[in-house]
Amino acid sequence: MTAALSAALGMATAAGLIVVLRSVEGPSRPMANVDHGSSLLQEVPIPATGRPVTVTTAEGHRYTVAAVRGAVDPAPLPGVQVPPPGKGYAFIDYVLTNPQHHPILLDFPPYVFLRRSVVPPDFASRCVKRIGAPPELCDPPGRSQVIARLRGSADLIRQDADTYLAPGASYLVRAMADPPVPDSADHRDMGLFIWEVRFTGDRRSRHAPFPGEDSRTG
C-alpha cells in the first residue's frame, strides 16, 4: 500500500461517513446507521487486490468485491471501545464496485471471518460456523464503513434516506470484526467471505482472497 493511500485512509476513517453495524442473528440493513456529516468521500489511488468475486441479488443488482489487506488495530473505525491491553480489532479493507450502468443500493456483501483460536471466550457463542468456509473460521458480529472512493469514481449518491453506488464506481470499504483479538494476529487469522442468501442463493460462503492468496473453502 502506498504512503499516499495510507494517509488518505487515515483521513477518510476519521471522517466517519457511513457505518453499518451487524449482529450474527440477522441481515445488516435494519441496523444501518448513516452519518451525513460529510458529503464527499476522500479519493484514493487504486490499490492492488486479490481475485474479485461478483454476486447478484434476486433483484438483479450486481456487486463486485475484492480484498485489499487485513490487519489488527486498536481503533480501525471511529467509535469503537478501547480494547484490553494487548488486544485490537481485526479489519479488512476491500474494494466494492458497482459494475452496472445504473445506480444500485449501497450494501455490504462480505464480512470478516476470524480464526476461532483468536476469538475471546465471551464471543465464542456469537462466532458462527458458515457453510462453505473453512472449519477453523467463524463469523462474528461486526460493522462496515465506506472510507473512500477510488480514483476516477463518482461519489456515493444520496436520495432521501437511501445511499447508492454510482454507475461503474468503486469504493474502499473497511469491514471490522467486533471481538477484540490478540494484537499479534494478522491477515492469516481472518478472511473476507460472502454468505448471505440474498447474495449467494444457497448460503454457501464465497471467499474473496487477499492479493497473492488462493481461495479458501470448507
Provide the residue-wise pLDDT of the chain in tens; the chain has 218 residues.
555 555 555 544 444 455 566 655 554 433 333 333 345 899 999 999 999 999 999 999 999 999 999 999 999 999 999 999 999 999 999 999 999 999 999 999 999 999 999 999 999 999 999 999 999 999 999 999 999 999 999 999 999 999 999 999 999 999 999 999 999 999 999 999 999 999 999 989 999 999 999 888 77
Question: What is the span of the domain harbouring residue 137?
Answer: 3-208
**Dihedral through CA 211, CA 213, CA 214, CA 218, nearest 10?**
-110
Residues 26 and 33: their CA atoms lie apart, in Å, by 16
Q: Is residue 216 part of a domain?
A: no
Q: Is residue 213 part of a domain?
A: no
pLDDT at residue 216, rounded to an integer: 83
Q: Is residue 214 part of a domain?
A: no
Q: Is residue 196 part of a domain?
A: yes
Terminal C-alpha separation, the chain? 30
**Dihedral through CA 181, CA 74, CA 213, CA 196, nearest 10?**
70
Q: Is residue 105 part of a domain?
A: yes
Whole-model pTM: value is 0.86
Q: Is residue 41 part of a domain?
A: yes
pLDDT at residue 3, rounded to an integer: 53
3-state helix, strand, coil in the chain (%, to 5): 15, 40, 45
Q: Is residue 67 part of a domain?
A: yes
pLDDT at residue 215, rounded to an integer: 85
Q: Is residue 171 part of a domain?
A: yes
Q: Give the number of domains in the chain.
A: 1
